[in-house]
Amino acid sequence: MTILSVDCMGGDHGPAVTLPACRRFLDEHPEARLLLVGGDALGSFNHPRATHVPASEVVAMDDAVEVALRRKKDSSMRVAIQQVKEGKAQAAVSAGNTGALMALARYLLKTVDGIDRPAIAYPLPNAKGGATTVLDLGANVDCTEQHLLQFAVMGSALVAALKNQEQPSVGLLNIGEEIIKGSEVIKRAGELLRSAAAAGDLNFHGNVEGNDIFKGTTDIVVCDGFVGNVALKTSEGLAGMIGGFLREEFSRNLLTRLAALIAYPVLSSFKNRVDYRRYNGAALLGLRGLVFKSHGSADAFAFSQALARAYDAARNNLLDRVQARIAHARPLLAGSPAEPQPAEAIASE
């Protein structure tokens, strides 16, 4: 039996979204148990496989990292991660503030040997109908080639665990496919990733460009947190603009509304294909425990997807896989300059 701890108070909507999501998830996963972490209101949730774990405080979406770390010691986010630390749950899930979640997870769980910095891995839908896992997406602004190798190894473990695909392909995000392209760090990262591939640590495809993320050229795309964050948010902006234009055009007048009615099945099937909610659930990788982050604005369906992702990762021993792969790649990672990154550098959602 796999047990998840759920920060039921986090996100834009709190229990109004997390509780229906938990029920949905429990219905769909008869082997799962949940620890519902949060205030007394959760006590009214009755399910034979759910247990209420009390927590008296809530990390707000705009709380500074310091507040989450030093002041709110009984927050639902912290208590949820604590369940993982104490072995009472195999993974924690929260829709709360990303910076606070990363800082708390790092403080409570610590990083895996061989990992300097945890990373955030996000699945983005691709034209092949699957998802491309991109990391890092916001935790680390200045990365060395060693960090990029760590991301590649951890991302491979994640995709292997979630998709049952032993050697997922890895692309290094660059501004051209040729080896000579990119900054000095990227060129050195390319060399290191090729060495890792030669050592059997990775299935390295080579350089990829921004358009390859949505093409689905590789299973995984590795980049520093600054570039990853810009790519993710630029995509969100473009998708929002295109969606807005479509809606405006179809609601312009009576005729276009009629056209929308007739095209409804097509539009709704289209909408389903680009529905990012299906891919909700980012993994915080490199910690001695599993933590998954849901989008803060997730609805019950989206949040249940994040629970399902955490559940699959826990059942498929993501933690052991990350540790085993990192240990295997250790000769290449050795000599890696250990430079801890301050929590302030973590990007906001």
In the list 179, 198, 199, 241, the residue contacting a second copy (rule: CB under 8 A) is: 241
In the list 86, 113, 236, 320, the residue contacting a second copy (rule: CB under 8 A) is: 236
Q: Which is nearer to a second copy, 227 or 319 (CB)?
A: 227
**b vs e for 91-121, b when ≥16 Cβ sit within 10 Å of the residue's Cβ?**
bbbbbbbbbbbbbbbbebbebbebbbbbbbb
Report if residue 324 touches a second copy, rule: CB under 8 A. Answer: no
Alpha helices, DSSP H only, in the chain? 15-28, 65-66, 76-85, 98-109, 145-163, 184-198, 210-215, 225-250, 254-262, 264-273, 300-315, 318-328, 330-333
CB of 211 to a second copy, least distance (A): 3
Site string for a second copy, 193-212 (x = CB under 8 A): ----------------xxxx
How remote is the C-alpha of 90 from its chain's centroid? 16
Q: Measuring CA to CA, how many Å separate 282 from each of 32, 72, 225? A: 20, 24, 14
CB of 124 to a second copy, least distance (A): 9
Angle at alpha carbon of residue 342, lines to 138 and 120, rounded to 5°: 25
CB 118 within 8 A of CB 287: yes
- Size of the chain in residues: 349
Stretch that binds a second copy, among 20-28, 150-158, 266-274, 319-327 (CB under 8 A): 266-274
Report if residue 61 touches a second copy, rule: CB under 8 A. Answer: no
The Cα 38–Cα 61 span in angstroms is 16
Report if residue 331 touches a second copy, rule: CB under 8 A. Answer: no
Stretch that binds a second copy, among 1-9, 42-50, 135-143, 305-313 (CB under 8 A): 135-143
Stretch that binds a second copy, among 20-28, 72-80, 156-164, 254-262 (CB under 8 A): 254-262
Query: Applying CB under 8 A, what is the total number of residues that bind a second copy?
Result: 64
Contacts of 259 (CB under 8 A, 6+ apart): 250
The structure tokens listed for 192 are 């290191």
Report if residue 339 touches a second copy, rule: CB under 8 A. Answer: no
Stretch that binds a second copy, among 50-58, 72-80, 119-127, 290-298 (CB under 8 A): 119-127
Q: Which is nearer to a second copy, 76 or 174 (CB)?
A: 174
In the list 85, 230, 317, 321, the residue contacting a second copy (rule: CB under 8 A) is: 230
The Cα 79–Cα 76 span in angstroms is 5
CB of 263 to a second copy, least distance (A): 4
The Cα 278–Cα 123 span in angstroms is 10
Q: Which is nearer to a second copy, 39 or 210 (CB)?
A: 210
How remote is the C-alpha of 125 from its chain's centroid? 13
In the list 88, 273, 324, 327, the residue contacting a second copy (rule: CB under 8 A) is: 273
CB of 265 to a second copy, least distance (A): 7
Rounded CA Rg of the chain: 20
Among positions 140-179, residues that touch a second copy (CB under 8 A) are 141-142, 173, 175-176, 178
Q: How many helices (H) and strands (E) does the chain have?
A: 13, 11
Q: Which residues bind a second copy (CB under 8 A)?
A: 125-127, 138, 141-142, 173, 175-176, 178, 180-184, 186, 209-215, 223, 225-227, 229-242, 244-246, 249-250, 252, 255-256, 258-260, 262-263, 265-267, 269-270, 273-274, 344, 347-348
